[in-house]
């Protein structure tokens, strides 16, 4: 586990456009947006997931996206904070099968 700062979104990216439109959390239901020319523009969309490399922020962490073609809905959170584990997490023993194997649930 590691806490890290996420830099401001790349100019012109979906995250930047939504922040500049009014820095507030929002839910975009995109089914009706498929006819909106502004939302059909391809822009970079920040990819932060299990693996995130801040040093690649301006180049490798963005994927070209047309939001209504990629998602049915999009949740934008302008500001977040690091999570805190509910209990002490220990690394797995080598070759240990995960408890949720094979379903992942």
For the chain, give every domain's residue range.
14-76
Alpha helix segments (H runs only) across 28-73: 67-70
C-alpha dihedral, 72 to 25 to 6 to 68, nearest 10°: 20
* pLDDT tier for residue 94 given thresholds of 50, 70 and 90: low
49 or 95, greater pLDDT: 49
pLDDT for the residue numbered 73: 93
Alpha helix segments (H runs only) across 1-105: 14-20, 67-70
Mark 38-56 as b/e (b = at least 16 C-beta within 10 Å). ebeeebbbbeeeeeeeeee
40 or 57, greater pLDDT: 40
| Percent residues over pLDDT 90 in the chain | 30
Q: How far from 82 is each of 24, 38, 97, CA to CA, in Å?
A: 18, 32, 28
Residue 105 has pLDDT above 60, yes or no: no
For residues 81-104, average pLDDT: 70
């Amino acid at each position: 586990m590691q806490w890290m700062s996420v830099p401001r979104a790349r100019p012109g990216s979906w995250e930047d456009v939504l922040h500049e439109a009014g820095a507030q959390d929002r839910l975009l239901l995109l089914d009706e947006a498929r006819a909106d020319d502004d939302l059909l523009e391809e822009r970079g969309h920040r990819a932060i997931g299990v693996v995130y490399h801040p040093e690649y922020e301006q180049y490798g962490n963005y994927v070209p996206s047309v939001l209504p073609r990629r998602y049915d809905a999009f949740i934008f959170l302008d500001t977040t904070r690091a999570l805190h584990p509910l209990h002490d997490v220990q690394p797995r023993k080598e070759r240990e099968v995960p408890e949720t194997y094979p379903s992942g649930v």
